[in-house]
Amino acid sequence: MSIAPLDALPLETLRRRSSTKWRTFPEDVLPLFVAETDFPLAEPIRAVLAEAVEIGDTGYTPPDPGVRSAYVGFARRRFGWEIEPQRVSWTGDVMMGVVELLRATVTRGDRVVITPPVYPPFFFCIEEAGGVPQDVPLLASDDGWLLDLEGIETALADGARAVLLCNPHNPTGTAHAKESLAALAEIAARYGAVVISDEIHAPLAQPGSGFTPFLMASATAAEIGYAVTSASKAFNLAGLKCALIVTGADATTAVVRGLPREVEWRTGLFGAIAAVAAFDEASDAWLDSLLARLDENRMLLADLVAEHLPLARFAIPDAGFLAWIDLSAYGWGDDPARAILTGARVALHHGPEFGAGGAGYARLNFGCSPDVLREAVARIGALARA
């Protein structure tokens, strides 16, 4: 049975929101930059938050807010991943978890491998933890973007102590192959390094994408890896502050248990309440409908780029609602998002902020209505033809 795609809220409703997406630019700008989506909340989430407001449930997050058992069930249903409940903990957001894990596993001044172009906060969070980012850029191929395993091994052999992985990858939307992840785990183990996998976009992996959680890739991955994830991207809950840290072995679990107590206390109560509802089976239908919409949108975007921006290069992503588009042929410089904002009144994310390989690119958020997507790309196309 086909799944009806989720409808976005109308623009007049979205412009009443007070979040970053809707308060950064004037109303004549279509905001497709930050990773917020334009859809209504899943009804189970709306209901539990409404009840919490009604009864004044705005206190401290309890010792067990229920996110552990909720995520264990979600991972089993969605990924076939069996997680031991005691290996799940929580914190405020994914980057908080990454920083604390790095503080616990590397020494100040140690190098941490990243795979640009990559989510800009990776650079800042490694530095916050006292590490030094070391670029090993993704490899472009006819089959999409690939981890440069040889380059990562060279970096680890030269003394880098950790790999900060993005899986699925932001901004390319790549779901790294299980074989690649398993090979990465073996390389890291060979040099006594850890892998911290940001899996915030995992719930948005399209069916058939081949997405594999890093800790599921192999027994070695489970021994040396950490996964940090959240409901915030799939269910648009970033402002509510709840993320999960998952481990697969006694040694890594002990590291997480040794983190300062405040790491867990940073979890927002509304974030935990919403995450429990998001990961519950009752929200699966909403998520399936969202995935159907994003599937249609990613295909629509490919058609729109071909029609309006024929010199651009765009690979359809495996996961998420973010598109990584090479606009270098249009002469808009290293940061085409600047020219597009000024000339087309469409806000995209600046390619150079994603590090090596970002020059000439922009990231576009297609987590919106098809009409908004059509209008945005048509505006950019008109600028290209001007």
The string of pLDDT tens digits covering residues 228-277 is 999 999 999 999 999 999 999 999 999 999 999 999 999 999 999 999 99
Kindly report, residue by residue over 47-75, the tens digit of the pLDDT: 999 999 999 999 999 999 999 999 999 99
Pick one of 3.90.1150.10, 3.30.200.20, 1.10.600.10, 3.40.640.10 as the CATH number of 49-282: 3.40.640.10
Cite the DSSP H helix spans in the chain: 11-14, 20-23, 43-54, 67-79, 94-105, 121-128, 149-157, 178-190, 219-224, 232-235, 250-257, 261-265, 269-279, 284-308, 336-344, 370-385
Chain mean pLDDT for the chain: 98
Sign for the CA dihedral angle at 230, 232, 235, 239 comes to positive
Confidence category of residue 125, pLDDT binned at 50, 70, 90: very high
Q: What is the pTM of this model?
A: 0.97
What is the per-residue pLDDT for 141? 86
CATH 3.90.1150.10 segments of the chain: 11-40+284-385
Tell me which fold the domain 11-40+284-385 belongs to: Aspartate Aminotransferase, domain 1 (3.90.1150)
